[in-house]
Amino acid sequence: MSKYYLNHLKELEAEAIYVLREVFAQFENPAILFSGGKDSIVVTHLARKAFYPAKIPFTLFHVDTGHNFPETIKFRDDLVEELGVKLVVGSVERSIQEGRVREETGKDASRNRLQTTTLLDTIEENGFDVCIGGGRRDEEKARAKERFFSHRDEFGQWDPKNQRPELWNLFNGKHHPGEHFRAFPISNWTEMDVWQYILNENIAIPSLYIAHERDVIWRNNTWLPVSEHITIRPEEQMERKMVRFRTLGDITITGGIESDADTLEKIVAEVAAARQTERGNRADDKRSETSMEDRKREGYF
């Protein structure tokens, strides 16, 4: 190979930086949807690179379900302080208190779906015209259809049948007042790319991704973390296990896998050998074959 070539990670990085700069140039009030998960951490790291030596010109925007891993919140606050950026928190708890949404009840109740209302309300309150997300097309079949610049109507809805064609590197972010965009700079990355990149760049991530001892129960085919937000059922038994999480979401729905991968190198090796997708342990995706598509149509990210 000639010396003028970029390996796949460098090429993906260059593409993501280009997209982030386009977002900055084409929109008035952008925010990074920051969940504290690895993908939004990588996006934030890329934003740092895109505008270096200037500060990240984006607000960090966290949709807080109120059912967080405490580690995630601490990680978020530390990062915000380090970067010196503004943080906006949309609270699902508040949406419930204000009667904007009703908490689900029943056996597998989750706040996942409620996030959409909080997300859209907070976008409106803050006047964000674009939210940059860490969504990747390899995650889920509905996401495979996603554009880099993804238009949302005034109700925040995604219409997969009426997306703007995206050609070459010409992104069209034009929109009417009230509409907004979602931008996905790491669309073309896979889970493996994200982990290799975190390893190469030595990016800090919450300890939850790394194998650790934790109290868990076996529910819905996964090791669910014991927390104040779940009720242990009579037939369930709390156990102490070495686990780690492949994705991070609401603590009530994020299942862990048994693992002894306690370093980034071991995680990369484990991901390489994985026979299940990373979202295989997310209860929110298992509700129906199209649950992600349905949520995205409503405005979920």
Does 166 engage in binding with another protein (CB under 8 A)?
yes
Q: Maximum distance among all alpha carbons in the chain?
A: 64
Query: ∠ CA 127-68-86 to the nearest 5 degrees?
Result: 35
Within the chain, residue ranges assigned H as helices are 8-26, 38-51, 70-83, 92-97, 115-126, 191-201, 264-273, 291-298
The residue from 87, 203, 230, 268 that contacts another protein (CB under 8 A) is: 268
The residue from 91, 126, 163, 207 that contacts another protein (CB under 8 A) is: 163
Judged by beta carbon, residue 232 or residue 269, the one nearer another protein is 269
Least Å from the CB of residue 124 to another protein: 19
Judged by beta carbon, residue 168 or residue 228, the one nearer another protein is 168
Does 86 engage in binding with another protein (CB under 8 A)?
no
Does 6 engage in binding with another protein (CB under 8 A)?
yes
Which segment (91-99, 102-110, 139-147, 205-213) binds another protein by CB under 8 A?
Answer: 139-147
Least Å from the CB of residue 198 to another protein: 13
Within 151-298, residue ranges assigned H as helices are 191-201, 264-273, 291-298
Judged by beta carbon, residue 69 or residue 300, the one nearer another protein is 300
User: What is the 3 state secondary structure string of 79-133?
Assistant: HHHHHCCCEEEEEHHHHHHCCCCCCCCCCCCCCCCCHHHHHHHHHHHHCCCEEEC
Side chain identity, residue 241 = K
**287 Ramachandran zone, left/alpha/beta (phi>0; psi -120 to 50):** alpha
Does 202 engage in binding with another protein (CB under 8 A)?
no
Q: Which residues bind another protein (CB under 8 A)?
A: 1-2, 4-15, 17-18, 21-22, 24-25, 48-55, 137-138, 141-142, 144-145, 160-161, 163-170, 172, 174-176, 187-188, 190, 192-193, 196, 200, 265, 268-269, 272, 274-277, 280, 289-290, 293
